[in-house]
Amino acid sequence: MSIKAKIKGPEYKRYQKTLILSTALAFLMLYIAFGLIFFSKEGNPIPGPYILLILAINFIIFVVFYESRGKEKSKEKNNEKDNFKSLIKGLFLAICATFALVAIICGVKLMIYYDGFELIGGFGSFISALAICMIVSMVFLSLLRPLSEQ
């Protein structure tokens, strides 16, 4: 029996989903790294008001997410302490998401407009970095899996 025949069925979708998710996370990590390289070479190409707008949108999204999650967990009245926790958690995640989004945009800009393959050492270095990021993302996914299954 071939390997392909063995993994067909319900397990096939799990393999496929894990491979796609790991690859997507690897590309995100790689472009964040390229964005950091771009920051060190060129500075920030995105004007401050646009970054502030991205931060504000992320802040609203994450605060509403945590407030709705807090109301879901406790059916009783939501007090000010829970609202303050939602604000702090939302602000932290908004700052992280804004930084990641700006770094990804800068990484893509580096690769497209500034010939990033030459800057990082060629296409072989890009493939090597992608492979390392795929391994790291798979480790992260496997460490997070027991939390999501509980």
Helices 123-149/10-42 angle, 10° precision: 120
- What does the CA dihedral 11, 12, 17, 22 come to, rounded to 10 degrees? 90
pLDDT value of position 150: 46
> What CA–CA distance (Å, rounded) separates 111 from 109?
5
> What CA–CA distance (Å, rounded) separates 139 from 83?
34
If one compares 49 and 82, the residue with the highest pLDDT of the two is 49
Nearest to 44 by CA among 138, 116, 110: 110
Q: How many CB atoms lie within 10 A of CB 66?
A: 19
pLDDT value of position 9: 66
> What CA–CA distance (Å, rounded) separates 74 from 63?
17
> Tell me: the pLDDT tens digits for 90-148?
999 999 999 999 999 988 888 888 777 777 777 888 888 889 999 999 998 888 876 54
Element (H, E) at 79: none
